[in-house]
Every structure is written in structure tokens, then in C-alpha cells.
Amino acid sequence: MKITSTGHAGLFVETRAGSVLCDPWRNPAYFASWFVFPDNWDVDFSSLRPDYLYVSHLHRDHFDAALLRDAIPKTTTVLLPDYPTADLREALEALGFSKFVETRCNVPVELDGLRIMLDTMSSPADGPLGDSALALDDGEHRILNQNDSRPRDLQPLRDFGHFDAHFLQFSGAIWWPVVYDLAEATKSALGKRKRENGMARAMRFVEEIAASHVFPNSGPAAFLDDDLFAFNDLDGSDDNPFPDQQVFIDYLAANGHGNARLLIPGSSAALEGTRCTIEHPIPDDEVGRIFTDKRDYLSAYASRQRARIEEEKASLPRYGGDLVEALADWFEPLLALADRIGPGVGGPIQLDVGDEQIIVDFTERQVRRRTDEECRYAFTIDRPLVEALVAEHQIDWVNSLFLSLRFRAWRRGQYNEHIYTFFKCLAPDRLSYAEGWYAEQEPVEYVQIGDYMVQRRCPHLKADLTRFGELHGTVLKCCMHGWQFDLSTGNCLTSDAHRIDCHPIAGSGGSAGSAGSAGDEVDAAEERVG
């Protein structure tokens, strides 16, 4: 087996049973804030002819739409993670891909000599509503491409077999604490904690997986814009949350793990028996200077990309209307659905956009100009960025604005996951899924629909059936995506993958058939609803 790094989380895996291209990325991401480190512009993606394509998730340092469109053959078969929404599949279909292997979380699949398994995570906190890892076995060697995912249950991966190589994230991919308005001493202390926690978490995965060889990947990004350049870990400072590959290799070695290996774009790792042979595209001393003379390396890289950065800034789409009205028209119908996210935020947040101060009020569920409200959370964002988000109707501000680090933030109190969940779910189906996920962490809730007690959340993508359900006889239709359920049996009429939990109300005349295991839970639900 031969694994070639294409940069960041990108891998080209060649085996006797076929090849897999993972997470190819080259074009700058997040408003031209992130670039691949080290530089991978010499990688010839068009020369790669993979049998399979694996895109772990939709973050733009993993899903490079332009590169996938222009360089990857559309005859390539896509290995599709088991996500609750179809966003990834639809994005790939829009680029021309049409052949998919649909997987189930942690269920191995045989593919003509390759055995693969995708570990899929789908909570609102996982990537853009999803992240995944790939386990691959060609009959001789096994590798785990964890990229930035954080599997919650490692036993299925252990059951897959001993891994010869483990690729994983170790560096920050977050805006905390670097964009926050904090005293420098406080920011430094928090940066130290973030840096240490990130590497310690990665080391725990290394120890639990116990692969023969470990490869740091999936970060850090290079910040090449003058406004962001200082975010790079230029001098190995212990308070920078973006340590590089060599820092993590040294960290592992200092903690008794001497099996980590360095790859740069174009490097290959050949697995033969228990041996791993590394070949770099440039001499070893030049590889070393990337990390020992990092400031000079990144300054030269920034000079090469300066025109590209300015071009992207100049090409941002503009919105010429009233931003407050536009955001109110967009956000207020979503706030009306945010029965759990709204109370989770618990009040207004403030967006300072140019010379306007805009309130997004999660209690009153409205968007308005600020008067004299006190807010616990505030964001300062350049107006052209917000105009671009509005003009494009960008439904995931985390996967665009926040990861760009092109904003400032202030808060009083602790991190609030619900704020960022809302901003990555700026479409009804996404928000309904997130609301449903939070609801599922609570006891199952039942509501009366016609002559039946029915689980409140659609089994498909968790839409609230009190809002999106339409009853026609015994057929309940969820208008979010058009799925239909026969309440007399509980069967889904749209797919055999889901049943709905329902029960006729005694004496109502409803069918005696039920959807199964409601039992005492339904009795309790009737007490709650009735």
C-alpha cells in the first residue's frame, strides 16, 4: 500500500484492489483566509485517476468544490458517509458525481478486494452537521484516516483490526481565543490551554488506536493575508493554538511515542510488512527548513498568493438592500422554529456590521436594530462579508465566516454551543434537524395528531410534526421533505428505512394496529399532552 499526501487532510491511497482519493483541497478557503500548509500548488491533481473518492465532510478545507469540479473524473465512485441530511451528496451531485456507495455508520463494506468502514458523527457540534473517519483494509494493510473527526466509540474501529497507519488532526481549527477581545495575558493563558488540550486529545486517540505508524495531518492552515499572518505559529510559541506537524511529532516523542512520521504535499509512505518507507518530493534538508525557517517560508508563500487574496476580496458579491430587513426576513422564520436553540442562547446577541448594530433576539425571536439592549455575546464583522453572506444566502456561517477568523468577538460568560449551531443551520431543514437532535437527548415526546398519539419528531430528519405534519386519513405527511407514514401500521410509505412511533387513542375509532413499542411511554405521553 502506498499513501501520498496531497496536502492538509488530502491523501491518495493506492492499493492492489484500487485507489481512494481523500479530501483533496488546494484553493484558498473561508474568504481566502486558509491556505494549505505546506504549499501544495505543485501537486498535479488532474494526473490522479482514483477509483473512489472520499470527502469526509463539507468543511471547505475538505470539500474544495472548484478542485473537485475541474480535476477529479466524474466517473469516480464516491464513498458516502451516513449523514442525516443529504447536503454532502447533493453538493457532489451538483458537481457531476453520480456513482455513490452508501454506507452505514461503523458497518464494513466489501468493494472488490477493499474493505472499508466509515465512522460517522452527526450531532449539531460535528462539523457542518456531520464529520466522519475512514477505515480501509486491502487485505495486507489497514489504515485509519481520522482527519478532524472525533469518534465517540472506538470499539468498532478496534474491531476493524490493527491499523498500520493512523492519520489524524492535532492542531486548532477554531477561532477561539484568537479573535476574542480579551486582555493579552488572558488570551495567552487560554491559547496555551487550547494548544495543549488539542495535542493531548490527539495523543489520546493515538494511544487508543495504537497504530504502528502515526501521521499528523488535517492542519494547521497557513494564514497568508497580512491581516491574519500573526495567527501562524511562527516561533513555536506555547500560546499559539495552531501548532504544526513537527511540533506534534516532537510532542508525541516527548511523551513516549516515537512512531510519528512527517509527510508534506507530494510525500509518500509505502507500507511493506511492518516497514514504512517515506519519500519526499524535495531533499530532506529543504523539508526541515519549512519548519525551522517557517516565518521566511510563509512570507514567501504569502507573496506568491497576495494577488489571489486581493482578487477574492474584490470579487465578493454585494448586497445593496437594507441588511436589517434582509436578516429579519431570513432569520425570523428560523427563530420561530428554535424551541430549544432559542432558550439555549437565552437572550439577544449583537452583530456590529460596519456602522450598524443589529440585534438577533432569541427570546423575542426577532431581528432589529439595536437600541439600548445589553447583550452577553457580540460580533464585529466587516460589512462586505455580511453582504456576501446575504447575497449568496449562505446557510452555514460557521463554514464561511467564523472559520475565516475575519471577525472579532466578545462574550460575557461561557461558550454557548447553541449560538454556533444556529449559525450553521440557517435553513429550515437544517434547523429542524438540530432541534430534533436536541429533543432526542430528552425523553421521547408524543403529541396528538388526529386520532393518534405520535412521536413529535419526524423519523427522517427530525422536523416538528406539530408544525410540518399534515394528516390525510391515516396517512401523515411531513411537509419538510414530503415523507409519508401510515399511522395505522407505523410504516413509512416513502422509505423502508424508518418507522414512526404512534398509537391510536383509546375509543377514538383509530385502527387497532400500532407502530410497536410505545407501551407505557405512550401512556406517559398522553398524561403530558392531555
pLDDT in tens, 230-248: 999 999 999 999 999 999 9
Among residues 403, 432, 461, the one where a domain terminates is 432
At 47, which CATH number? 3.60.15.10
Query: Domain check: are 175 and 73 in the same one?
Result: yes
DSSP conformational letter for 46: G
Query: Domain check: are 54 and 189 in the same one?
Result: yes
pLDDT at 527: 25
Cell of 385: 462579508
Query: Domain check: are 399 and 458 in the same one?
Result: no
Rounded Cα–Cα distance for residues 195 and 479 (Å): 45
Is 493 contained in some domain?
yes
In 66-189, beta strands by DSSP E: 77-80, 100-102, 109-111, 114-121, 131-137, 142-147, 165-168
243: left (phi > 0), else alpha (psi -120 to 50), else beta?
Answer: beta
Cell of 263: 509527510
At 409, which CATH number? 3.30.1050.10
Cell of 371: 437600541
Query: Domain check: are 299 and 353 in the same one?
Result: no
Query: Domain check: are 303 and 378 in the same one?
Result: no
Q: What is the pLDDT of residues 365-405, one digit of tens each?
A: 999 999 988 999 999 999 999 999 999 999 999 999 999 99
With CA atoms as reference, report the closest residue to 393 among 335, 329, 345: 329
Q: CA distances (Å), 333 to each of 189, 339, 345, 366, in order?
A: 40, 12, 17, 9
With CA atoms as reference, report the closest residue to 227 among 428, 447, 406, 455: 406
Among residues 432, 458, 474, the one where a domain terminates is 432
Query: Domain check: are 277 and 137 in the same one?
Result: yes
Is 151 contained in some domain?
yes
The model carries a pTM of: 0.86
pLDDT at 171: 95
Query: Domain check: are 110 and 191 in the same one?
Result: yes
Name which residue leads in pLDDT, 7 or 124: 7
Q: How many CB atoms lie within 10 A of CB 138?
A: 20
**What proportion of the chain, given as a percentage, has pLDDT over 90?**
83
Give the structural domain span for 449: 443-529
Residue type at 455?
A: Q
Can you tell me which residue has the cell 482514483?
50
**Given a cut of 90, is residue 206 above it in pLDDT?**
yes
Name the phi and psi angles at 50, rounded to 5: -70, 150
Is the separation of the CB atoms in 15 and 114 below 8 Å? Answer: yes
At 490, which CATH number? 2.102.10
Query: How confident is the model over 265-272, as a mean pLDDT?
Result: 98
Confidence of residue 509 (pLDDT cuts 50, 70, 90): low
With CA atoms as reference, report the closest residue to 365 among 349, 354, 387: 349
Name the phi and psi angles at 206, rounded to 5: -55, -45
Confidence of residue 526 (pLDDT cuts 50, 70, 90): very low
Rounded Cα–Cα distance for residues 165 and 140 (Å): 12
Query: How confident is the model over 151-156, as a mean pLDDT?
Result: 90
pLDDT at 21: 98
Among residues 432, 466, 487, the one where a domain terminates is 432
With CA atoms as reference, report the closest residue to 397 among 346, 360, 369, 364: 360
Is 438 contained in some domain?
no
- Count of domains observed in the chain: 3
Is 73 contained in some domain?
yes
Weakest mean pLDDT among 145-159, 253-267, 278-292: 145-159
Q: Which residues contact 119 (CB under 8 A, 6 or more apart)?
A: 105, 106, 132, 133, 135, 149, 151, 156, 157
Distance, C-alpha 28 to centroid of its chain: 17
Rounded Cα–Cα distance for residues 98 and 94 (Å): 9
**Given a cut of 60, is residue 521 above it in pLDDT?**
no
Average pLDDT, rounded, for the chain: 92
Confidence of residue 413 (pLDDT cuts 50, 70, 90): confident
DSSP per position, 414-479: S--HHHHHHHT--SHHHHHHHHHHHHHTS---EEEETTEEEESB-TTT--BHHHHEEEETTEEEET
Query: Domain check: are 387 and 491 in the same one?
Result: no
pLDDT at 518: 26
In angstroms, how far apart are the furthest CA atoms of the chain? 82
Confidence of residue 496 (pLDDT cuts 50, 70, 90): low
Is 302 contained in some domain?
yes
Q: Which residues contact 450 (CB under 8 A, 6 or more apart)?
A: 471, 487, 510
Query: Domain check: are 46 and 180 in the same one?
Result: yes
Can you tell me which residue has the cell 466517473?
75
Name which residue leads in pLDDT, 459 or 217: 217
Using DSSP bridges, classify how beta strands 18-22 and 275-279 pair: parallel, antiparallel or unpaired: unpaired
Query: Domain check: are 90 and 174 in the same one?
Result: yes
Query: Domain check: are 486 and 369 in the same one?
Result: no
Cell of 464: 416538528
Is 237 contained in some domain?
yes
273: left (phi > 0), else alpha (psi -120 to 50), else beta?
Answer: left
Query: How confident is the model over 290-311, as a mean pLDDT?
Result: 98
Name which residue leads in pLDDT, 423 or 492: 423
Is the separation of the CB atoms in 187 and 96 below 8 Å? Answer: no
DSSP conformational letter for 338: -
What would you report as the CA-atom Rg of the chain, rounded to the nearest whole angstrom?
25
With CA atoms as reference, report the closest residue to 224 among 323, 326, 295, 128: 295
Is 315 contained in some domain?
no
Query: Domain check: are 273 and 399 in the same one?
Result: no
**Given a cut of 80, is residue 170 above it in pLDDT?**
yes
Can you tell me which residue has the cell 419528531?
457
Rounded Cα–Cα distance for residues 104 and 453 (Å): 30
Cell of 490: 407505523
Is 437 contained in some domain?
no
Q: Which residues contact 363 (CB under 8 A, 6 or more apart)?
A: 342, 346, 347, 348
